[in-house]
Amino acid sequence: MRTVWEVFDPDRVPVGAIEQVTGVLLPRYNDIGTWSYTVAARSIPSEVRAVINEPGSGIRVTNADYPDGEPIIAGPMTKPAESWGEDAPWDGQLVVAGVSWEQHLADRVTYGSPSSAWTAQTPGTLYRRPAGSGTAAAETVARAFINVNAGPGALVARRVAGLALEADGARGALLAKASANEPLLEVVQHICAVGGLRFQVLHQPDGSLLLRFTVPATRSDVLLSVDSGAVRSGTHSVAAPTCSRALISSEVSLVEMSDASRETLWRRRIERVLDQGSTSDPDEITEAGDEVLLDGRATAMLAATVVDTDDASYGVDYLLGDVVPYEQRVLDQGVIATDTIREVKITVAADGVRIEPVIGAEGATGSPGPYRRIRSVGKLVRQVSRPW
How far apart are alpha carbons 297 and 6 in whole angstroms? 40
Same domain, 235 and 343: yes
Q: Is the pLDDT of residue 385 over 60?
A: no
Same domain, 122 and 184: yes
Q: 352 with 315, same domain?
A: yes
Q: Is residue 382 part of a domain?
A: no
Indicate whether 163 and 117 sit together in one domain.
Answer: yes
197-213 confidence digits (pLDDT tens): 999 999 998 899 999 99
pLDDT in tens, 114-155: 999 999 999 889 999 999 888 999 999 999 999 999 999 999
Tell me whether residue 187 is in a domain: yes
Which helix (H) or strand (E) segment is 374 a member of?
Answer: helix 369-385
In which band, very low, low, confident or very high, does the pLDDT at 289 lie, cut at 50, 70 and 90? Answer: confident
Residue pLDDT, tens place only, 25-35? 999 999 999 99
pLDDT tens, residue by residue, 294-350: 888 876 667 777 777 777 888 888 889 999 888 766 555 667 778 888 989 999 998
Q: Is residue 21 part of a domain?
A: yes
Q: Which residue has the higher pLDDT, 355 or 229?
A: 355
Contact partners, residue 251, CB within 8 Å, separation at least 6? 276, 277, 278, 279, 280
Q: Per-residue pLDDT for 260 more than 50?
A: yes
Of 253, 269, 295, which residue is a domain's last? 295
Whether residues 117 and 208 share a domain: the answer is yes
pLDDT higher than threshold 60 for residue 376: no
Q: Are 311 and 276 contained in the same domain?
A: no
Whether 85 and 119 share a structural domain: no
Closest to 379 measured CA to CA, from 182, 228, 198 = 182
What is the C-alpha radius of gyration for the chain, rounded to an integer number of angstroms? 22
Mean pLDDT of 220-248: 80
Q: Is 376 exposed, middle or buried (0-12, 13-18, 19+ CB in 10 A)?
A: exposed
**How much of the chain exceeds pLDDT 70, in percent?**
86
Q: Can you give the pLDDT at residue 10?
A: 93
Do 173 and 56 share a domain, yes or no? Answer: no
Residue 226 in domain = no
Are 139 and 189 within one domain?
yes
pLDDT for 124 equals: 83
Maximum mean pLDDT: which of 39-43, 153-157, 268-272, 297-301: 153-157
- Clarify whether residues 82 and 110 are in a common domain: no
Residue 380 lies in a domain: no
Residue 373 inside a domain? The answer is no
Q: What is the pairing mode between strands 231-239 and 299-306? A: antiparallel
- What is the domain-level CATH number for residue 80? 2.30.300.10
For residues 340-364, average pLDDT: 83
Residue 55 has pLDDT above 50, yes or no: yes
Alpha-carbon torsion (124, 128, 133, 135), positive or negative: negative
Question: What is the tally of structural domains in the chain?
Answer: 4
Q: Is residue 221 part of a domain?
A: no
- Please check whether residue 56 lies inside any domain of the structure: yes
Q: Are residues 10 and 119 in the same domain?
A: no
* Contact yes or no for 304/332 (Cβ under 8 A): no
| Domain ranges, residue 291 | 245-295
The pLDDT assigned to 221 comes to 86
Confidence of residue 17 (pLDDT cuts 50, 70, 90): very high
Residue-wise pLDDT tens digits, 66-124: 877 789 999 999 987 777 666 655 568 888 999 999 999 999 999 999 999 999 999 88
How far is 309 from 311, CA to CA, in rounded Å?
5
Mean pLDDT of all residues belonging to the chain = 84
Degrees, nearest 5: CA angle 62-67-73: 20
- Let me know whether 258 and 341 are in one domain: no
